[in-house]
Amino acid sequence: MSQSTATPASIENRAPNVGRQFFDRVKDSPGREAYRFPRGGDWESVTWQETGDRVTKLAAGLVALGVEPEQRVGIASTTRFEWILADLAVMCAGAATTTVYPSTHTEDVSYILADSECRVVFAEDDEQVEKLVSSRSELPHLSKVVTFEDGAKSDDDWVITLADLEKLGADLLAEKPSVVEERVDGTSPDDLATLIYTSGTTGRPKGVRLRHSSWTYEGAAIQDQQILSEDDLQFLWLPMAHSFGKVLLSTQLAIGFATAVDGRVDKIIENLGVVRPTFMGAAPRIFEKAHGRIVTMQQAEGGIKEKLFNRAFAVGLQVDQLKREGKPVPFLLAKQHGLFDKLVFSKIRERFGGRVRFFISGAAALNKDVAEWFHAAGILILEGYGLTETSAGSCVNRPEDYRFGTVGKGFTGSEIKIAQDGEVLIKGPGVMDGYHNMPEQTSEALSDGWLHTGDIGEIDSDGFLKITDRKKDLFKTSGGKYIAPSSIESRFKAICPYASQFLVHGNDRNFCVALVTLDPDAMTEWAARNNMAGKSYQDIVDSQKVKDMVGEYVEQLNAKLNRWETIKKWILLDHDLTVESGELTPSMKVKRKVVEENYQNEIDALYA
């Protein structure tokens, strides 16, 4: 079954490139708020016109440094306002942004910047500058480093500050006032806009080549959904090195809403209370952690408060189900629900600022139970789907048309179909040109314009796409039963509020086993309530009490699984998986093969 939609004029007539899209927004909304960001203890706000003025000087500064159209400019930084300024400046100079996660190891940073032949790199601070300094001999194309923090300067003029770059741009604009406008006018829709290097769960990261028309399409396609308006306020914390973060910028340029920017993950909940946004994009792990945090807090309260909390959600989930099925809610049940909304659900909504119309979940599969739990509290999470290779967005649920457990319907102007083996195929303006310097991998991924996503899925009769698992992650037991591990793993995380990772194994074995890790922050709180305060993480997870607790959650999971899917044995690791250990990618995806190799003896022991 396939799904496709006609392309409306709003998408056909979109801006030819990101630079023009940006300056059109500045022209249409000069005095409106564009961005706000933390500065000291307060939040500073800038208008579109103010942003446009700075971007123009920075873009001119890149031209002054000799950056030519489609040449690559790297950004190695956490999510912050300066990241956005740098990216927009690169676009407006007609160049192409190469994104680098700040957590990327020096070796991979060197590979990415060398492979992309970056001429200039924006580096956030001393840590990022040091990676470049130590790799300088391997980066012959790199002529200049621009730092976001003034203190991060080296002894020579190879490293300059953002202010230095603006000064270069101002001087060039004084001589040639139209230099940036000429670059924007000379940028074709098919010109390279961005090189995003995929996380590399297997092998070296691949540079995904995305055109200007890919990003302007994404913004226009989401605008066409009519789920956001100029009056919305976004809170943006997502890594901008990830396509999910990038597509939210394209959406902002198309629609014109304001964005509050702060990439500090530990500040998300605090910032939500201060910023009070109307929407936010996030990966499922954020919702899993928030769900776990709220549940464990209530468990700690105990007594009447915990009973009230549990009863509230029992009623909320029941009312939700009746409404989704189009059935009337009995009078007494509706009265109970109204009371619980005031006593319980309103307090949960207030934790997220109290004004959120919806969250958008992407980058990985969102567990259906978690989505329904939040919805029972009056918080709608709209799951979407896409890949770096499709400029992030390809599908999304809509506030008036959503279905939990699916990733929604395809974007206007794109086509989605299911291959005979169940693989999801996508064709449309958002699909990449190919992998940078990798013709063989490109021909494997693209066939007659169709992108082979590597995901297994199905489209229902109403056009909603459901993703089952990654094609390469599916395995078959020795009994011949196929297992979709990510589905089982997300179920466990929804059940166990302390879970961090739950990795299911069983390829060619006669039963399934799991490697389990627990969230260190959640376990610190658990320890404080269970007479283990001050103990190390390893001591805590080695305790029999924790093992018994995890065992109970595994039993709850098994009760929801088919017999051949159940976890017969499991082991609790004495540490969580990390980027530093090489077991997670910079975008926090698990490198399954690395984990399997690291713990092959432990896995084999479970089958002994």
Spatial separation of the C-alpha atoms in residues 193 and 96, rounded to whole Å: 4
Residue pLDDT, tens place only, 175-189? 999 999 999 999 999
Question: Do the domain assignments include residue 428?
Answer: yes
Q: Are residues 81 and 141 in the same domain?
A: yes
Residue pLDDT, tens place only, 500-537? 999 999 998 999 999 999 999 889 989 988 999 889 99
pLDDT at position 606 over 60? yes
User: How many domains are contained in the chain?
Assistant: 3
Q: Which residues pair with 44 in a beta bridge?
A: 37
Strand 207-211 to 192-197 pairing = antiparallel
Spatial separation of the C-alpha atoms in residues 99 and 250, rounded to whole Å: 16
Q: Are residues 40 and 142 in the same domain?
A: yes
Closest C-alpha among 335, 334, 337, 344 to residue 309: 344
CATH number at residue 487: 3.30.300.30
Would you say how long the chain is, in residues? 608
Question: Do the domain assignments include residue 444?
Answer: no
pLDDT at position 201 over 60? no
Question: Do the domain assignments include residue 131?
Answer: yes
Task: Give the DSSP letter of residue 191.
Answer: S
Residue ending a domain, choose from 265, 293, 315: 265
pLDDT at position 2 over 60? no
Task: Pick the most confident of 5-14, 278-287, 425-434.
Answer: 425-434
Share of residues in the chain with pLDDT > 70 (%): 97
Task: Give the DSSP letter of residue 422.
Answer: S
Mean pLDDT in residue range 410-421? 94
Q: Are residues 66 and 201 in the same domain?
A: yes
Question: Do the domain assignments include residue 440?
Answer: no
Q: Are residues 118 and 261 in the same domain?
A: yes
465 near 416, Cβ under 8 Å? yes
Q: Are residues 466 and 523 in the same domain?
A: no
Domain of 341, in residue numbers: 284-433+455-470
SS3 (DSSP) at 46: strand
CA angle 415, 357, 469 (to 5 degrees): 40
CA distances from 51 to 33, 76, 169, 470, 547 (A): 10, 21, 15, 40, 53
Q: Are residues 403 and 304 in the same domain?
A: yes
Question: Do the domain assignments include residue 204?
Answer: yes
SS3 (DSSP) at 483: strand
Half-sphere exposure of 77 (CA within 13 A, CB side): 29
Dig out the tokens for 42 from the structure. 């307060």
Cα R_g (the chain), whole angstroms: 25
Question: Do the domain assignments include residue 278?
Answer: no
Q: Which amino acid is at 448?
A: D
CA distances from 269 to 29, 108, 144, 293, 320 (A): 30, 32, 37, 11, 25
Question: Do the domain assignments include residue 446?
Answer: no
Q: Which residues pair with 590 in a beta bridge?
A: 584
Spatial separation of the C-alpha atoms in residues 78 and 247, rounded to whole Å: 16
CA distances from 299 to 294, 305, 310, 477, 566 (A): 9, 9, 10, 37, 27
Spatial separation of the C-alpha atoms in residues 430 and 364, rounded to whole Å: 19
Residue ending a domain, choose from 425, 443, 470: 470
Q: Are residues 338 and 260 in the same domain?
A: no
Q: Are residues 62 and 133 in the same domain?
A: yes
Spatial separation of the C-alpha atoms in residues 512 and 56, rounded to whole Å: 57
pLDDT at position 14 over 50? yes
Question: Do the domain assignments include residue 450?
Answer: no
Q: Are residues 464 and 526 in the same domain?
A: no
Q: Provide CB contacts within 8 A for 591, sequence distance 6+.
A: 201, 202, 582, 583, 584, 585
Residue ending a domain, choose from 418, 446, 470: 470
Dig out the tokens for 593 from the structure. 């093969």
Q: Are residues 233 and 288 in the same domain?
A: no
Q: Are residues 527 and 602 in the same domain?
A: yes
pLDDT of residue 1: 47
Q: Which residues pair with 567 in a beta bridge?
A: 512
Closest C-alpha among 67, 42, 324, 52 to residue 181: 52
Residue pLDDT, tens place only, 344-396? 999 999 999 999 999 999 888 888 999 999 999 999 999 999 999 999 999 99
Q: Are residues 173 and 52 in the same domain?
A: yes
